Each structure stands twice: as structure tokens, then as C-alpha cells.
Amino acid sequence: MEETVFNYENIEVSIQEGYAEVVLSREKSLNSLNTETHKELLHCLATLEGMREGVRALILTGRGRAFCAGQDLEEVKPDPNGRQIRVGDLVRSNYVPLMQKVKDLQIPTVCAVNGVAAGAGASLALACDVIIAAKSARFLQAFSKIGLTPDSGGTWLLPRLVGRARALDQFFTAEAVDSTRAFELGMVSRVVEDERLTEESRTVARQLAKGPTMAYIATRRAVDLGYSMSFSDSLILESLLQDHLGESYDYREGVAAFLEKRPARFEGR
């Protein structure tokens, strides 16, 4: 089988034990996102997603003391003639495809938030399925500090996690939310000591990589769509998803394993 080579400048990618680890690696600017990083991330996620059997979970994390400081502000500063990029164009060309890809990825995602997650960096973390924060991590809705409204899915993600009032408070004041508070607010599912973050995220990824991938993705879909559906419509959606999952190998294997009193060996199909 041909080996996939990941050769990127701004991210590091490794694959082990059925999961991939993607590390944002622009440490000097706190892993801020420039256009090249967007391209690499999109390419890498699409490639990993295509590796079906080999990669069934993904960890996203950052190198150094930050997870991600959002948009690389050097990239958007006006040129010497005062010309400035159109922010909406940048959002449409970079953030819309990236965030859509993360949210729709056909494998479960784990974010290991190793430090500050600001602006679009916070959105990137909150778009993942399982969000584990290091004790020293903090979230910063930095958009209003530079006169912008949250983008990269922020206005969809944060209110769903913390409620309208607390989301607007974060958006307007841009006050940092530390990991303990983020846990209390429901923004992250686990907080661990800094030195345990890597192992904790890998333990979760290892478990997810051995799990019923299709069921995870269907669950994410039902939960996300459920926010804007009636209870009755959610019941119908769930039944339709079960139609699909009921045809899967993993469903047959799960039932057989239970009846045979042995651990299931899911294959993600």
C-alpha cells in the first residue's frame, strides 16, 4: 500500500493506533491561522478522511503555549498603500471551508486545547466533538477587540454550549474564560493538568478509533440538527439514522459481541 506523506510547513501530522494527530505549528505567532495554514489544514483533513480504515479519530492541538490565536493579523494588515483585504472574502475563502470540514468530518474529533484559544482559534476548538482543556488553557472571543463580529461558526457554536446571555457576554467583553470556568459553562468536556493533556487526548482518540465510527457521526449530526428541530422531527431523524446504521457491519458486530459476551471489534463500516 502506498504510504501517505504529509509534508506541511505550518502543521505537523502523525498517525498511530488508528488515529491522527494534527498539531498547529506556528509557535511564534501562537499558531495563528494564515492562508497557507488554512490550505494545509483543509488538504490534511480531506486526506485523513479518505484513509477510512487507517484513521478513525483525529486529535487537533497546538505546539507551544497556545492552541491557536485565530486569524494571523499580520496577514490582514493594510499594505503600504493603505489597501486592505475584504474581511468577508477572507472569511468565505478560508474559514467557511475549514470550519465546514471540521464540523462534517466523517471521523470523530478531539481537541486538546493546550493554551490560549482566541477568535477563530476558539471556534476551531469548540467545533470539535470532544474538547479537552489543559488547566492553563483559556478561551478568548477576541473578535470585538478588533471591531469584528465572531465568524468561523462562533455565533452558532458558543450560544449552543453556554446559552445566549453568557455567549453575548463573552462576545462583547472579550474577557478570557479560564479552563475551570469553561468546564462549568459547558464549553469543554474535560479539564486535565497540563502535563496530562497529551495522554488524556490520546486515550480518548484511541478509544474512538476503535469505536463505531458511523454511529459517532450520526450522533453528532442528530445532536447538531436537533437544536433547530422539534422533538417530533428529532424522533423521525433518529429513526432514519438508525435505518442507515442498522445496515452497518458495526451494528451486527455490536449485537453479536454482546450476545457472545465478548468485546466488540468495530471496523467503522
DSSP string, 118-155: ETHHHHHHHTSSEEEEETT-EEE-GGGGGT----TTHH
Residue 181 or 220: which CB sits closer to ligand T3D? 181
**29 contributes a contact to ligand T3D by CB under 6 A:** yes
CA distance 223 to 11: 30
**195 contributes a contact to ligand T3D by CB under 6 A:** no
CB of 65 within 8 A of CB of 137?
no
Burial of 156 (0-12, 13-18, 19+ CB in 10 A): middle
**126 contributes a contact to ligand T3D by CB under 6 A:** no
End-to-end CA distance of the chain: 20
**61 contributes a contact to ligand T3D by CB under 6 A:** no
Q: Which three cell numbers stand for residue 98?
A: 475549514
Q: In the set 13, 57, 99, 120, which binds ligand T3D (CB under 6 A)?
A: 120
Stretch that binds ligand T3D, among 135-143, 193-201, 227-235, 239-247 (CB under 6 A): 135-143
**32 contributes a contact to ligand T3D by CB under 6 A:** yes
Q: In what helix (H) or strand (E) does residue 59 lie, and over which residues does it extend? A: strand 57-62
**134 contributes a contact to ligand T3D by CB under 6 A:** no
**114 contributes a contact to ligand T3D by CB under 6 A:** no
Distance set, CA 33 to CA 46, 57, 221 (Å): 18, 23, 27
Q: In the set 13, 116, 124, 218, which binds ligand T3D (CB under 6 A)?
A: 116
**187 contributes a contact to ligand T3D by CB under 6 A:** no
Q: How many residues bind ligand T3D (CB under 6 A)?
A: 25
**70 contributes a contact to ligand T3D by CB under 6 A:** yes
**237 contributes a contact to ligand T3D by CB under 6 A:** no
Residue 10 or 71: which CB sits closer to ligand T3D? 71
Question: Which of these, 87, 85, 144, lies nearest to 118 by C-alpha position?
Answer: 144
Residues that bind ligand T3D (CB under 6 A): 29-30, 32, 69-74, 76, 87, 90-91, 116, 118-120, 140, 142-143, 145-146, 148, 151-152
